[in-house]
Structure 1
């Protein structure tokens, strides 16, 4: 059964890189995002090979188990293609690509995934990340050592633990089957989108209900507005829905959309790198797959970073607490330079401090009981004393008392 729904695919170089190493595919039943790596040439070739090899899977399948098997085997064949390509063209050694593929079969989605491109499902006003990133920082998140928010800005967030490359003929690919339903919106994207646009803004764009093409444009604009330091590839798939049913030629975007995507550009003169260091950095691999021994170094580095964060937090807390204690101390000292005249039950009393209290803490103490009965004062003076009368010093407070005394009133 041919998938009933609509889709769109879009890919952009971004604002920093000079070439597009991503590839995307939106067909009749199959939808793919591949994010290549391996420098200026290798990433283009790897993602192009992956998409063109997977294109053969874009067909109806009798069962989901058959579709899952074919999808897994085709990705393994892609790894063999990459190895064979490097054997013929050794200048491409080290190239690789992520693959996130969605195969629609009846009311089910068959998913295959390796790397850090992502597949999301927007259903019932909620966005859910369906795939798990095969990255170093995701391992840290899974082990509870960092939070998902910390992972977004971790300096090693691009270190891949699994990738489809030229070193492993039997890659470990996640495959699983999920039921889908009319109204579902599926989003496949490279980390050029997910690394810049957070889930809240992604969900808001998907919730607007625009056709897949327009929704992809909205998400791409958000990535570009966020700086787009990497290539951005987006594939959106609507199950059923109000938009026209997809039909016609599959959409291929990114490096796979042109034969140039599988050609090796000529090497640049050395002076180009010196004159344009930013452009040179833009052509370097966006991901890094570590060797086994390097992983231990990364883990130890993260432990050191965690210790530095902990020490920094403790030192910062001590400094803040010290500053707060100093502010309270000097603030209290200042209050004790002030005086006021008030009432203590039935007599007039001179207090040192200020009238206000901080919770249970009293900021004033009685220093002189004048012996003047509050009842002996005229009514307006009784009210003034009960409201308290401020004084800048003990002498000024005593002068206030002299003016309040009954004897003073009769003179």
Structure 2
């Protein structure tokens, strides 16, 4: 962790990962975050190589167009270097990294972006996401197939459609030139922050904590408070009235801040989740699925969309079956309960005469659970007073035969 006067860079391994596969760079004119993928196969190596190579483009530029061209060239060069590294170290096959980079040129920012790390602008109390995620679920959101809320829990949310690595010799890089205003705060972060801390909370932090270092530290703490299943890296740049270049020495954080090593004696393992974290954050504090690349061809994308459609259909079918089974269980329970009530009898009054009722003396809303089984010819008024009161209050019977026995006794009493 380190600072310069109006900027800060912080990287944390998180509470579950065993190593930090993120890298961040805070330079004089250039700022970036790289989030490596490939797990123990080399995500940390990928972000380290990319960050170190792209940081070589950290020097003044005459125009923002020159800066954009330099950033794009640096990302392509890093991509080639990653491919060469995989060629020399086959065990790293499949490694890659996202990169989101900004270069300041006077009152402009040059941007280069690939993957799902993000650039945000905080201006006038409002937070705006500047970059677009190069992910499968973002494609689904853009096509209207799912909502952003559904994307956050989608089973393929870890599928990246564009990365730097040994997967594409000429990856497509998003570039842009952006206006600056004094008072702006520019946030670059890995998905260890954006995937677990809401934009509302980020807005609150950026709007209330004055110093860049304090705000960056608080953003990382928010991720840790949500269980921090993934590495989290934050680079925060405050824009003042100066011309931009910092006199402070550049700094790296995360994997790029340490010597590069290839291979490990044993496979990386995730640290277990502590019980308090699991109880406080049962949905967020689960080990995230490792990000991985899948090609951005239309045919393959169509296959993924079709697979997603089939999965949605299966979910609807299972949901329908579940609802149907639940409804059937309720109906069956109701029928069995009703059948049980009809095994009971009692003696009461119907139209002034003694009658046998089948069921129990309760109702469910407007539905009575008993009905007249048989009305006798015995007038209640012919019964002795105490038996009239008993019949009017109803006399429970253990069975239909018991009910008939009660009626016979009442008939005899009425005859007397």
User: TM-score with structure 1 length normalisation?
Assistant: 0.69
The alpha-carbon deviation at position 333 of structure 1 amounts to 1.0
> Using the alignment, how far apart are the partners of 1:176 and 1:26 within structure 2?
19
The alpha-carbon deviation at position 375 of structure 1 amounts to 7.2
1:365 alignment partner in structure 2: 371
Q: Check the 8 A contact 2:348/2:356 in 1, yes or no.
A: yes
> Using the alignment, how far apart are the partners of 1:329 and 1:237 within structure 2?
68
- Residue 74 of structure 2 is aligned with which of 71, 78, 97? 78
CA RMSD of aligned residues (A): 4.8
Q: Check the 8 A contact 1:33/1:235 in 2, yes or no.
A: yes
Is 1:171 the counterpart of 2:167? The answer is no
> Using the alignment, how far apart are the partners of 1:311 and 1:187 within structure 2?
43
The alpha-carbon deviation at position 278 of structure 1 amounts to 3.6
The alpha-carbon deviation at position 395 of structure 1 amounts to 4.2
Q: Check the 8 A contact 1:46/1:95 in 2, yes or no.
A: no
2:35 alignment partner in structure 1: 35
1:231 alignment partner in structure 2: 231
Q: How many residues align?
A: 378
Alpha-carbon spacing, 1:347–1:100, altered in 2? closer, same or farther (3 Å): farther
1:351 alignment partner in structure 2: 357
Q: Check the 8 A contact 1:31/1:102 in 2, yes or no.
A: yes
Alpha-carbon spacing, 1:339–1:71, altered in 2? closer, same or farther (3 Å): farther
What secondary structure, in the 3-state scheme, does the structure 2 residue paired with 1:98 have?
strand
Relative to structure 2, which stretch is displaced further, 352-361 or 165-174? 165-174
The alpha-carbon deviation at position 190 of structure 1 amounts to 1.3
1:188 alignment partner in structure 2: 188
Q: Check the 8 A contact 1:50/1:75 in 2, yes or no.
A: no
> Using the alignment, how far apart are the partners of 1:217 and 1:74 within structure 2?
30
| Gap regions ≥5 residues in structure 1 | 241-245
Alpha-carbon spacing, 1:16–1:325, altered in 2? closer, same or farther (3 Å): same
> Using the alignment, how far apart are the partners of 2:111 and 2:409 within structure 1?
90
2:205 alignment partner in structure 1: 206
2:257 alignment partner in structure 1: 257
Q: Check the 8 A contact 1:47/1:96 in 2, yes or no.
A: no
Q: Check the 8 A contact 1:95/1:165 in 2, yes or no.
A: yes
Q: Check the 8 A contact 2:54/2:74 in 1, yes or no.
A: no
> Using the alignment, how far apart are the partners of 2:386 and 2:107 within structure 1?
87
> Using the alignment, how far apart are the partners of 1:46 and 1:368 within structure 2?
92
Is 1:219 the counterpart of 2:219? The answer is no
- 1:105-184 pair list within 5 angstroms: 112-120=112-120, 129-165=129-165, 167-169=168-170, 171-173=172-174, 175=176, 177=178
The alpha-carbon deviation at position 81 of structure 1 amounts to 1.6
The alpha-carbon deviation at position 320 of structure 1 amounts to 2.2
> Using the alignment, how far apart are the partners of 1:212 and 1:188 within structure 2?
13
The alpha-carbon deviation at position 386 of structure 1 amounts to 6.6
Alpha-carbon spacing, 1:382–1:188, altered in 2? closer, same or farther (3 Å): farther
| Gap regions ≥5 residues in structure 2 | 241-245, 271-286
1:288 alignment partner in structure 2: 293
> Using the alignment, how far apart are the partners of 1:203 and 1:406 within structure 2?
87
What secondary structure, in the 3-state scheme, does the structure 2 residue paired with 1:10 have?
strand
What secondary structure, in the 3-state scheme, does the structure 2 residue paired with 1:356 have?
strand
The alpha-carbon deviation at position 215 of structure 1 amounts to 0.7
User: TM-score with structure 2 length normalisation?
Assistant: 0.68
- Residue 305 of structure 1 is aligned with which of 300, 308, 311? 311
> Using the alignment, how far apart are the partners of 1:87 and 1:131 within structure 2?
25
**What whole-Å deviation, never above 9, does each CA across 1:99-118 have from its counterpart, x for those lacking one?**
23467799998765421113
- Residue 51 of structure 2 is aligned with which of 48, 53, 62? 48
2:88 alignment partner in structure 1: 91
> Using the alignment, how far apart are the partners of 1:186 and 1:348 within structure 2?
88
What secondary structure, in the 3-state scheme, does the structure 2 residue paired with 1:116 have?
coil
Q: Check the 8 A contact 1:10/1:216 in 2, yes or no.
A: no
**What whole-Å deviation, never above 9, does each CA across 1:90-137 have from its counterpart, x for those lacking one?**
437765432234677999987654211134567899876554321112
